Structure 1
Amino acid sequence: MGYFSSVYDENFQDAVTCNGGVIRNGREILFQAFNWESHKYNWWENLEKKVMHLSKSGFTTAWLPPATQSLAPEGYLPQNLYSLDSCYGSLHQLKALLQKMNQHKIRAMADIVINHRVGTIQGQGGAYNRYDGIPLPWDERAVTSCSGGKGNRSTGDNFNGVSNIDHTQTFVRKDIIEWLIWLRKTIGFQDFRFDFAKGYSAKFVKEYVEESKPIFSVGEYWDSCKYSPPEHRLDYNQDNHRQRIINWIDNTGGLCAAFDFTTKGILQEAVKGELGRLRDAQGKPPGLMGWWPSRAVTFVENHDTGSTQGHWPFPSDHIMEGYAYILTHPGIPTVFYDHFYDWGDSTHDQIVKLMDIRKLQDLHSRSTIKIVEARSNLYSAIIGEKVCMKIGDGSWCPNGKEWKLATSGHRYAVWHK
């Protein structure tokens, strides 16, 4: 089976133009510049010291944690959206960081948390669903009826325990758009990551991107993969899972990419001895990457799945196989802070080497891929006709003297012409 997307076009060329905002030419390499504990460590100043190194390593964008004042130190329970003094540092420190990133041509990605907002005082039903005394002083009409407000029903999933924002309200969308434009034009963010994108309709993300014009945007549409009882085993076919992500991207008008949770789910099972999972029934990569690579932001781990939360962790002894896969394949790869800075020089240097190969061989989100082998202990593929790679214990190398070994490590190798 194929998949349905009303806006999909193989020749979408290098961008979907969005009134000046553009999904770029697919040569991004993202860096997730934090983990779940980063708020404890004067983070903006810590990152400022690393900007030059990140630039030399080849990252194009650094996704920063939520910069707004929040009732949770990690930033995901925002209250005063216009206050950028947070547990990560002051507004002054943030602006210094963004200025340095701009000097070194790394785009700053803001973490946009607009599914929910903690009120300042109690309103209807005793819930904290009024925002008196701070900018955007909304009343209960701004909160969905399913989370204790006077607004309409939610257009997505409910985020429990907090007032969920009603994006159907015109005044709410107008205020959010003005805030997003302020983040871009006044503060200096260039890219957006939409948190908990399942919580409200994708058509609102489309409107927010069209009006605020980020250079690049990505949504966290985190849906559950399909597992089968009794041993809760991941199904081989995850087409319905990736179709739901496709539908979400489609409903943003194709203006917003999405994190490739399908690829993560399959890849972290595959590396444990089921590498045959990495080829779908049509011979393509089995994640979002195989169906709409230019909108697939691939990753091995993030602050939720790994770090100290560990909700859905990648097997730690296979991390480099994961990076060998996403950094050579189509899609837009993301490197996680912990692996780059906390796992020691060896892991860091191996990731940099893979990034170098991606750049030197001009691999990008739309690079062609031919899967050569996909069986339990071996996966191999040729990407862009100029790079080939393998992961797993099985022995394999490409045919032809034109192929030269570019890098290798535990259970992976990469060649180029």
Structure 2
Amino acid sequence: MKKNKFLAIILLSFSLILGSCSKDDNGETTDPADDVTGTPQLQPGTDEPEAIDLSAYDNGSRVMMQAFYWDVEPRFAWWDNLSEKVPGWADAGVERIWIPSPAKGQSGGYSMGYDPSDYFDFGNFEQHGTVETRFGSREELENLIAVSHDNDVEVIADIVLNHNSGGGLQYNPYRDYETYTLFNEENGNASGMFNRTYEDFYPNSVSEYDPGSLFYAETNLDHHRERVQDWLWKNDNSVAKYYKNVMGFDGWRFDYVKGFEPWVVKEWNEAVGGFSVGENFDGNPDVLRDWIEASGSPAFDFSTFYKLEESLDRYEDLTNLEKDMLWKTHPESAVTFTANHDTEKDSEEDNYIMTSNKMKAYAYILTHPGYPTIFYSDYENENFKEELKTLISIHNSIAAGDTEILYVDQDEYVMKRSGTGTNPGLILYISLNNSTKRRTVSSNWNNVTLMDYSGNSTYKPTSDENGMVQIEAPAKAYAIYSITE
């Protein structure tokens, strides 16, 4: 017994000696003298550093707000709800709001706008069981646009250009049965503008070709027909020109662009201009790049969305962030996001970023190149709002310059933005580890004390004369470092 007790004491002592210089799970030595509780690591005799004024480094970048979620409530009051929120969003750094398809759908007061019936009924015609749309009246929509413009915020309309819904029955000789392809004043088109028949949909006397649609195949508009082009974007009273010149919309989000050819978007934008983005629901960056080249329009960066989901959720492996993404080759055309009305609607395992990882995903898109979109339900979540305001402020100020990955492994990711001119740039450190992590990296700042502008860490390291600095990320969180005064 005594021999075993003595052996245990020796083993315990040996383990304590080894513990005085431990290694993290990636093999980097962690100095036990480092205080990982957040005590500032300042040079002896120096004063407490002060944060720089981020507004002094305005880089001209802003963000877009997706101003809705699926099945918004309250019904008939959404435009008024947004009108109240726009001034605060503008103060936070939002320059555009993307609203749902604003015209009357077949589902009437329950429609989210993606079953378009009358492109010119904004809540001012009695049809499909209601005058107002789910979102409110035309007057309330016009007020929202006016309030937004008063706050220097653009309004982006969701445009559904292929599938229609809510017309009347008529015999369709090209299908040899009755189809719901009659749109007139008595059948789903009370405005009387852009009346349609089976000749305006695939197939018809002009076109056999149908690019395909997952929705309402019998009422998939044929964009090759001159009449359809005239009503959608060419004529002075076309959908595009009416939305821009009469309603005051500033740009377009094109729904389900897989359902029609990219030249349609190109011609629309050439006719009316404005900001545009296409929903090409595909995680393959080559597919997105091909569509951008053909349409001339930016696209939502589903490749980055899925890489974030894989990295943070599905595989818990941050090395996926080294892979190809749209923003890496086309940053000016990549509209990045972490959630939208579709991904949040179903919350499918591989089509959704978990709530616990949302802010790490936002930290990524708000520090990297690309044009970030904030999701309404995330921003209006009181658990996220202040953190998102901080990230937007960082994005609009010091997220500038070239991007370089300084370190990446399964549970750590460190990225540097080099800054431009007097703009200092930043270093993002994301960790999936259960413990506080430290990593020594190369910065652009020599002999400068840094701080975490996200507020997640109070650790304030000082770089050496060569710019080397040890930064810290809290457990399962992130930090964003830059210089101090």
Cα shift at 1:167: 0.7
Name the structure 2 match of 1:131: 183
1:250 counterpart (293, 302, 314): 293
Q: Does 1:50 align with 2:85?
A: yes
Q: Which range moved further: 352-361 or 199-208?
A: 352-361
Cα shift at 1:130: 2.0
Cα distance in 2 for partners of 1:115, 1:396 equals 52
Cα shift at 1:131: 1.4
Q: Does 1:383 align with 2:417?
A: yes
Q: Is the 8 A contact 2:62 2:396 kept in 1?
A: no
1:171 counterpart (218, 221, 227): 227
2:307 counterpart (248, 258, 266): 266
CA deviations over 1:79-137 (Å, ceiling 9, x no partner): 11000011100000000111000000010000001111125211212111121223211
Name the structure 2 match of 1:64: 99
Q: Is the 8 A contact 1:140 1:150 kept in 2?
A: no
Q: Is the 8 A contact 1:142 1:150 kept in 2?
A: no
Q: Is the 8 A contact 2:165 2:216 kept in 1?
A: no
Cα distance in 1 for partners of 2:60, 2:211 equals 29
Name the structure 1 match of 2:145: 98
1:278 counterpart (284, 299, 321): 321
Cα distance in 2 for partners of 1:122, 1:98 equals 36
Cα distance in 1 for partners of 2:263, 2:327 equals 22
Q: Which range moved further: 57-66 or 32-41?
A: 32-41
Cα shift at 1:347: 1.0
Cα distance in 1 for partners of 2:73, 2:160 equals 16
% identity of equivalent residues? 26
Name the structure 1 match of 2:20: none
Cα shift at 1:208: 0.4
Inter-CA distance 219–154: structure 2 relative to 1 (3 Å threshold): farther
Name the structure 1 match of 2:393: 356
1:296 counterpart (295, 319, 334): 334
Cα shift at 1:155: 5.3
Cα shift at 1:138: 1.8
The count of residues paired between Structure 1 and Structure 2 equals: 360
Q: Which range moved further: 86-95 or 39-48?
A: 39-48
Q: Does 1:206 align with 2:266?
A: yes
| TM-score normalised by L of structure 2 | 0.71
Q: Is the 8 A contact 1:70 1:79 kept in 2?
A: yes
Query: RMSD of the TM alignment (CA)?
Result: 1.8
1:335 counterpart (361, 364, 374): 374
Unmatched 5+ stretches in structure 1 = 1-24, 226-240, 281-285
Unmatched 5+ stretches in structure 2 = 1-58, 124-132, 420-424, 457-475
Inter-CA distance 276–200: structure 2 relative to 1 (3 Å threshold): same
| TM-score normalised by L of structure 1 | 0.82
Q: Is the 8 A contact 1:378 1:390 kept in 2?
A: yes
Cα distance in 2 for partners of 1:118, 1:99 equals 30
Cα shift at 1:405: 1.8
In the TM superposition, 1:123-162 aligns within 5 A as 123=170, 124=172, 125-133=177-185, 134=189, 135-145=193-203, 152-154=207-209, 156-162=211-217
Cα distance in 2 for partners of 1:165, 1:401 equals 63
Cα distance in 1 for partners of 2:228, 2:406 equals 51
Letter in 2 for 1:158: S
Cα distance in 2 for partners of 1:161, 1:58 equals 39
CA deviations over 1:125-152 (Å, ceiling 9, x no partner): 211112122321122121112xxx5552
Cα shift at 1:318: 0.3
Q: Is the 8 A contact 2:157 2:251 kept in 1?
A: yes
Letter in 2 for 1:131: F
Q: Is the 8 A contact 1:136 1:175 kept in 2?
A: yes
Inter-CA distance 54–138: structure 2 relative to 1 (3 Å threshold): same
Find the residue that maps to 1:128 and give its secondary structure. strand
Cα distance in 2 for partners of 1:152, 1:336 equals 39
Cα shift at 1:408: 4.2
Inter-CA distance 139–334: structure 2 relative to 1 (3 Å threshold): same
Find the residue that maps to 1:165 and give its secondary structure. coil
